[in-house]
């Protein structure tokens, strides 16, 4: 049992002031735009959820904002300047909204966001949190998954994760889900191995592991009284053959899983309670008897952090973007420029800097005429591998940046890169977010200077109209 001191404070007055003082509209002054509309909020947004006709966004300064008109206008419903960063927000039933984040911070509203209670349970970062009812919940921290039966005031570790030899090798937690007060499940991954489900039907006293051959779920959540797991599976695996197909599974108990609607294409983006991103501009809902498709603007804005209500979708990069989501009979065509799904706030770099909550470097286009030559390995079907020369560029780039007291990035300086590369890297790095120092410490209210080196690699094959550049942080290049 984690017996952390819990400090609770009711913030009804602060929430009321926030609600009255702030209202935000997109650049079209309340009217839906043709493409994605940038939403101006007074905080760095990190996560998004929706339920019915309501969007919720959470992020830095312990802020939560709500939209009841499809993302056109927003109100800040909770704020604590200098507070922790809320990393996950969820809705339970008609009135309960809750979120959690850095330094064990949890905030809770039982009246649809009009009044809030906030407290800390432990000091660990909470990456995600789900509740089955007002008392029973599951959260994912740095040290592992934990359960509560008192509304989140105290949390206990799940013993099966360490004591059951069939479970302990699966150290990575990919997802957590809660159906009600007794039914909880985890999706676990063994490094360089496969996945298992770990579920309980008695509130956490006994847990049962389950491995499903040839399935590689990457997402787990609860919806409509069922667990849903989505990802990829290997079909017709015979004599080490087979091929990958989209995976949709549902279960009412975590033990008996049934295949759901079949998607015509594999998922390229993250799945949420509203569906999965097929590719930029195309979303599919697989939770019914047959797929339902939706079209959103395909211009590289859509990220893995997205949600949808009737006729509207919103997504988070370093800011919030909202657009119309149109129901269509079949998936829209891929955009002419087939951009990858933006990483947005959903996936961190390998070798990310210390204390980084969100550190993303997106691939970007570059003028191929500005490239030199680079050697790569070529060879098509039936050909022996051989070196070939294609247009390319490799550069070592030095970066200096400051981390502000709320964890956001301030000034960014880049050395050793062409202006076009510099602008892409600078935009991404200014969207990074770090663990803010606890209030009252020496680092509180002080900006920190950081330095790192990036390796930028740009290549272009003969049939490409433009080059594609990627950036990475090699091991031991960050300080």
Is 342 inside a domain boundary? no
> Is the pLDDT assigned to residue 137 strictly greater than 70?
yes
Q: What is the pLDDT of residue 440?
A: 60
Are 320 and 183 members of one domain? yes
Are 178 and 308 members of one domain? yes
HEC string of 310-353?
A: CCEEEEECCCEEEEECEEECCCCCCCCCCCCCCCCCCCCCCCCC
Is 345 inside a domain boundary? no
pLDDT band at 23 (very low <50, low <70, confident <90, very high): very low
Are 64 and 190 members of one domain? yes
Is 167 inside a domain boundary? yes
Question: What value does the mean pLDDT of the chain take?
Answer: 84
Q: What is the CATH number of the domain that holds 183?
A: 2.130.10.10
Q: In terms of C-beta density within 10 A (0-12 exposed, 13-18 middle, 19 or more buried), how is residue 418 classed?
A: middle
Q: How many domains does the chain have?
A: 2
Q: Which of 117-121, 248-252, 413-417, 462-466 is predicted least confidently?
A: 462-466
Residue where a domain terminates, one of 283, 313, 328? 328
Is 35 inside a domain boundary? yes
Is 346 inside a domain boundary? no
Q: ∠ at Cα 347 (207, 56), nearest 5°?
A: 80
Residue where a domain terminates, one of 328, 344, 376? 328
Are 102 and 36 members of one domain? yes
pLDDT tens for each residue of 78-116: 999 888 999 999 999 989 999 999 999 999 999 999 999
Are 149 and 25 members of one domain? yes
Are 239 and 171 members of one domain? yes
**DSSP per-residue codes, 242-262:** -EEEEEEEEESSSSS-EE-PP
475: DSSP letter? T
Are 172 and 239 members of one domain? yes
pLDDT band at 407 (very low <50, low <70, confident <90, very high): confident
The CA dihedral of 11, 119, 49, 197, to the nearest 10 degrees, is: -160
Q: What is the pLDDT of residue 465?
A: 79
Q: What is the pTM of this model?
A: 0.84
Is 347 inside a domain boundary? no
Q: What is the pLDDT of residue 1?
A: 42
What distance in Å separates the CA atoms of residue 136 and residue 92, rounded to the nearest whole number?
Answer: 12
Radius of gyration of the chain from its Cα atoms, rounded to whole angstroms: 23
As a 3-state breakdown, the chain gives helix, strand, coil percent values, each rounded to 5, of 5, 45, 50
9-18, 140-149, 328-337, 455-464 — which one is most confidently predicted on average? 140-149
CA-closest candidate to residue 405, choices 65, 81, 41: 81
Are 375 and 296 members of one domain? no
CA-closest candidate to residue 346, choices 403, 306, 308: 306
Q: What is the pLDDT of residue 425?
A: 92
Are 33 and 81 members of one domain? yes
pLDDT tens for each residue of 107-126: 999 999 999 999 999 999 99
Longest dimension (CA), the chain: 72
Q: Which of 3-17, 114-128, 243-257, 363-377 is predicted least confidently?
A: 3-17
Higher pLDDT, 392 or 375: 392
Cα 143 from chain centroid (whole Å): 19
Higher pLDDT, 392 or 355: 355
> Is the pLDDT assigned to residue 144 strictly greater than 80?
yes
> Is the pLDDT assigned to residue 382 strictly greater than 60?
no
Q: What is the pLDDT of residue 179?
A: 98
Are 320 and 413 members of one domain? no
HEC string of 210-224?
A: ECCCCEEEEEEEEEC
Is 349 inside a domain boundary? no
pLDDT tens for each residue of 251-290: 999 999 999 998 878 887 689 999 999 988 999 999 999 9
Residue where a domain terminates, one of 328, 348, 365? 328
138 within 8 A of 146, measured Cβ to Cβ: yes
Q: Which of 46-55, 343-352, 441-450 is predicted least confidently?
A: 343-352
Full domain range(s) for residue 365: 356-472
Are 154 and 262 members of one domain? yes
pLDDT tens for each residue of 294-324: 999 988 889 889 999 989 999 998 789 999 9
Are 366 and 227 members of one domain? no
Is 49 inside a domain boundary? yes
């Amino acid at each position: 049992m984690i017996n952390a001191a819990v400090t609770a404070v009711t913030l009804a007055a602060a929430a009321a002031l926030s609600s009255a003082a702030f209202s935000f509209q997109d650049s079209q002054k309340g009217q839906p735009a043709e493409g994605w509309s940038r939403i101006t909020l007074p905080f760095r947004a990190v996560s998004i959820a929706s339920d019915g006709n309501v969007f919720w966004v959470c992020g830095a300064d312990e802020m939560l904002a709500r939209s009841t008109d499809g993302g056109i206008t927003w109100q800040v419903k909770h704020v604590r300047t200098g507070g922790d960063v809320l990393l996950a927000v969820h809705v339970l039933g008609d009135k309960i909204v809750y979120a959690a984040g850095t330094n064990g911070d949890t905030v809770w509203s039982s009246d649809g966001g009009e009044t809030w209670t906030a407290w800390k349970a432990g000091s660990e970062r909470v990456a995600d949190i789900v509740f089955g009812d007002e008392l029973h919940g599951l959260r994912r921290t740095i040290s592992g998954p934990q359960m509560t039966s008192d509304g989140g005031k105290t949390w206990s570790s799940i013993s099966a994760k360490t004591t059951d030899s069939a479970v302990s090798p699966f150290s990575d937690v990919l997802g957590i889900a809660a159906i009600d007060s007794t039914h909880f499940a985890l999706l676990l991954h063994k490094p360089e191995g496969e996945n298992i489900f770990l579920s309980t039907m008695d509130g956490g006293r006994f847990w049962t592991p389950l491995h499903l051959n040839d399935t590689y779920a990457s997402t787990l959540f609860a919806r409509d009284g069922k667990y849903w797991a989505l990802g990829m599976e290997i079909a017709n695996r015979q004599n080490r053959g087979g091929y990958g197909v989209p995976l949709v599974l549902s279960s009412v108990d975590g033990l008996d899983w049934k295949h759901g609607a079949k998607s015509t294409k594999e998922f390229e983006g993250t799945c949420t309670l509203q569906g999965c991103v097929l590719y930029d501009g195309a979303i599919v809902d697989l939770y019914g008897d047959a797929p339902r498709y939706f079209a959103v603007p395909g211009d590289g804005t859509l990220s893995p952090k997205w949600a949808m209500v009737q006729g509207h979708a919103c997504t988070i990069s370093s800011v919030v973007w909202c657009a119309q989501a149109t129901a269509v009979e079949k998936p829209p065509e891929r955009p002419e420029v087939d951009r990858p799904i933006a990483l947005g706030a959903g996936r961190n770099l390998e070798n990310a800097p210390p204390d980084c909550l969100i550190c993303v470097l997106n691939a970007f286009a570059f003028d191929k005429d500005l490239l030199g030559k680079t050697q790569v390995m070529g060879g098509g079907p039936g050909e022996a591998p051989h070196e070939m020369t294609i247009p390319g560029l490799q550069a070592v780039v030095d970066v200096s940046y400051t981390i502000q007291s709320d964890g956001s990035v301030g000034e960014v300086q880049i050395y050793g890169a062409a202006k076009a590369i510099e602008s892409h890297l600078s935009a991404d790095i200014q969207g990074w977010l770090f663990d803010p120092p606890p209030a009252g410490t020496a680092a509180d209210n002080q900006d920190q200077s950081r330095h790192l080196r990036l390796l930028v690699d740009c290549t272009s094959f003969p049939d490409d109209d433009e080059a594609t550049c990627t950036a990475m942080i090699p091991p031991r290049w960050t300080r």
